[in-house]
Amino acid sequence: MSLAMLVALGVDAVLGWPAALYRRCGHPVTWLGALIAVLDRRWNRGRRRRLKGAAAAVLVIALAATAGALVQAALPAGVWGMVLAGVIAWPLIAARSLHDHVAAVARPLAACDLEGARAAVAMIVGRDPAALDEAGVARAALESLAESASDGVIAPLFWGAVAGLPGIAAYKAVNTLDSMIGHRTARHGDFGWAAARIDDVANLIPARLTALLIALAGGRFGAAWRVMRRDARHHRSPNGGWPEAAMAGALGVRLSGPRVYADRVAAEPWLNAGGGDPRAGELRRGLSVYRRAVGLAAVVLAVVALV
């Protein structure tokens, strides 16, 4: 299925997910989100929340994988079937969307429009943008770019290549579950426990592949590798630290560190603590590294498809 994933990545790079199409029919992730929201309202109450949350996660993942399997079974064999599978998988790749969202932060930041950059970064991170200076905005955008390169691009491509449409659909279900209920909060600490653990397992390999691609694309492989080996394990996420550390090493900046959310201050350790604070220029360079990393992923898919 590597050819199908290459097609999906190519269509996404050209089209993204058009706004007109989103207004007309939404997006597969919003469909999954609607189902998760219903289960959260109905099941996340009373006793045995951890068990009910696990059941909800299994149900959503199974439904997504079954839908993918049924669609894949209906496709013709051969190259045309692979092309059709790629077109069907296209909405589940977010390479263009991620780039556009981060570029929307980079443009006002480069124009010294800090308020505009804060408003744009608020669309992609959960921390309080009012407390961010130029370095804070650039840091938040770079962290989102690196981590989402794994969650939104490389991981779906990986699971699609390994397990076809059932694999990529199941992964998007896992990732959506984690983003909606996989939080350590009073409401979701128990109900979302299984979703968070499944997401950790599903991203174990893709996160490290993403880090390797970023390190190769950044032109400073040795520095990126050293930061990854030293600092990634100290990140709050067992997976997110790998692509973020690779980006920090590739750009020679420090990422992560203390940050302010709406309800708390998180005292996170630095990734590449000896690096400088990122600015608008580093954010533009980060976008270039991201584009090259996605290009390398496309080359890998093409090679695997030809083997």
Q: Residues 245-285: pLDDT tens digits?
A: 999 999 999 998 876 655 556 678 899 989 999 999 999 99
Instruction: Using DSSP bridges, classify how beta strands 255-256 and 265-266 pair: parallel, antiparallel or unpaired.
Output: unpaired
The whole-angstrom separation of Cα 256 and Cα 227 is 13
Structure tokens at 33: 């989100």
Please give the pLDDT value at position 263.
Answer: 55
Please give the pLDDT value at position 184.
Answer: 82
Contacts of 223 (CB under 8 A, 6+ apart): 249, 250, 252
The answer to pTM > 0.85 is yes
Please give the pLDDT value at position 265.
Answer: 62
Residue ranges in the chain whose pLDDT is less than 70: 259-266
Please give the pLDDT value at position 126.
Answer: 75
- SS3 (DSSP) at 215: helix
